Amino acid sequence: MLYDTKHFAIIEPMSEIARDIRIGIRGLGRSPGFALAAILSLALAIGLNTVIFSILNAVLLQPIPVPEPGRLLHIGRIVRGEGFQVVSNSEYRDTSEVTAFEGSSPIKSIARC
């Protein structure tokens, strides 16, 4: 008997998968408590995974909703032994209003991040 090898290569794995699914369903039917625990575990895992991805996608992966995000700057100061520290908005406003010396500015340089 001659077999069409192309047809046989596709049908054979599909019938094995269908048989495995039938055996799995029968096994779950024999122990409904385990089936319920397995289904609830999968539902909880899929739900949590979806929530975590949605949060990470919104916070980290999506671009910042500003017209030119490449022009944003970090404004801060360099403290010896601690490195760069970001300045709060209110602290920036307070120090930018200080004019102890005419022509001086509390911000000496701005580096792009």
DSSP string, 8-49: HHHHHHHHHHHHHHHHHHHHHHH-HHHHHHHHHHHHHHHHHH
User: Residue 28: exposed, middle, or buried by beta-carbon count in 10 A (0-12, 13-18, 19+)?
Assistant: middle
Residue 113 — pLDDT band, cuts 50, 70, 90?
very low
pLDDT tens digits for range 14-39: 788 889 999 988 888 888 898 899 89
Bigger pLDDT: 17 vs 41? 41
Instruction: Give tens-digit pLDDT for 43-67.
Output: 999 999 999 999 999 888 888 777 8
Instruction: Count helices and strands (H / E) in the chain.
Output: 3, 2
Give percent of the chain above pLDDT 70: 73
- Express each pLDDT in 67-84 by its tens digit: 887 777 777 777 788 787
* Residue-level pLDDT at 10: 60
- The pLDDT, as a whole number, for residue 4 is 55
